Amino acid sequence: MENTNLRQSIANARATGVVSEINLAQKKDKTGKDVITGTVVIKVSDTNSITYRVYASKTTKAGEENPAWAGLQTVMSTYRSIAEVGEVNATRVHVNGQYAPSTYVSQMGVLREGIPQYRTSFFSEVKGEFHPMAEIEVELFIRNIVPEIKDDEETGRKLLNGWINLYNGLEPVTLVVPAEMADGISDYEPGTTAIFFADVVNTETVKEVPVRLGKPRKVVSHVSELVVNGAEEPESEEKGFNQDAMRAAINTYKERIEALKSGDGQVKKAAPSTKTTVAW
């Protein structure tokens, strides 16, 4: 963890839904240890899903069996996905995981900052009452709050930009504040810390575009958003993240970005966006 004297942020990612895809495999890591790795896709609704990245070793650093190991073997051997057996017979699950956004350089050489990712090693089958959902809980150090603008017009929604501190250091986060909460979000000031809850929205729509000759073309659009559904009171100065420590951590983050950008000299700047307008 970066030397900023900052604790890790609360960053949980919970979901309840139907197993859509299981892409797990048991293999050896670089040291020869047994690991289970891959992804599991959870369907939350007809238009929404969440993908969890999975990684677990068979043994802990102390040499004892990892408590997640047996559970993941159960997922691989007994859970059934929509892709395998259809939705009616697929396994219903609840997942407790971590929200772990990542900053990296894409294969096209584009710098991608704070891209949402979700990780877990634990799944539990749901036998009784079933309420599909996907939500994150994040302890956010607020950078700024700006209007969302599309097609040069304000949408009525707000973009809440902030930082979370993870094991590998700071990561930027953008939450979408719906119009009905836009007035209340002004109570949260840049430089303060608060816990926010947000729905995970990952939708795909297909639109047919007519052409002069032949079949209509299908245009696929993806929407990936974290839409605020609630928040706790701002944390006190004593409990919230220290501003001086955050400044130091932000400088370290900027140095990491510069190192990524200079990695092969081919990194291209992403298109400007209101999501990257920051006060911190």
pLDDT 10s digits, 149-176 = 999 999 999 999 999 999 989 999 999 9
pLDDT tens string 231-256: 999 999 999 999 999 999 999 999 99
pLDDT at residue 122 is higher than 70: yes
In this prediction, residues 47-68 reach a mean pLDDT of 92
In this prediction, residues 207-224 reach a mean pLDDT of 89
Query: CA geometry: angle at 229 spanning 226 and 230, to 5°?
Result: 120
**Helix, strand or coil, per DSSP, at residue 235:** coil
pLDDT at residue 270 is higher than 60: no
pLDDT at residue 273 is higher than 80: no
Candidate from 9-13, 169-173, 204-208 with smallest mean pLDDT: 204-208
Q: What pLDDT does 203 receive?
A: 86
Largest CA distance in the chain: 67
Task: Give CA separation, 160 vs 70, 110, 163, 175, 267, in Å.
Answer: 39, 23, 10, 5, 27
Q: What is the pTM of this model?
A: 0.87
pLDDT at residue 1 is higher than 60: no
In this prediction, residues 78-106 reach a mean pLDDT of 96
- More confidently predicted of 100 and 273: 100
The one-letter amino acid code at 117 reads: Q
Please choose, from the candidates 113, 181, 172, the residue with its C-alpha nearest in 3D space to the C-alpha of residue 144.
172
**Helix, strand or coil, per DSSP, at residue 87:** coil
Mean pLDDT of all residues in the chain?
Answer: 90
Share of the chain above pLDDT 70, in %: 92
pLDDT at residue 89 is higher than 60: yes
Dihedral over alpha carbons 164, 166, 172, 176 (to 10 degrees): -60
Q: What pLDDT does 280 receive?
A: 76
pLDDT at residue 265 is higher than 60: no
The one-letter amino acid code at 215 reads: K
Please choose, from the candidates 143, 136, 144, the residue with its C-alpha nearest in 3D space to the C-alpha of residue 100.
136
The one-letter amino acid code at 199 reads: D
Q: What pLDDT does 264 receive?
A: 52
Task: Indicate the pairing of strand 118-120 with strand 48-57.
Answer: parallel
The dihedrals phi and psi of 5, each to the nearest 5 degrees, come to: 60, 30
How far, in Å, CA of 12 to CA of 196, rounded? Answer: 11
Q: What pLDDT does 49 receive?
A: 95
List, in sequence order, every beta strand (DSSP E) within the chain: 11-28, 34-45, 48-57, 92-99, 102-105, 111-115, 118-120, 123-125, 133-150, 153-166, 169-177, 193-209, 217-231
In this prediction, residues 125-142 reach a mean pLDDT of 95
How far, in Å, CA of 248 to CA of 153, rounded? Answer: 35
pLDDT at residue 279 is higher than 60: no
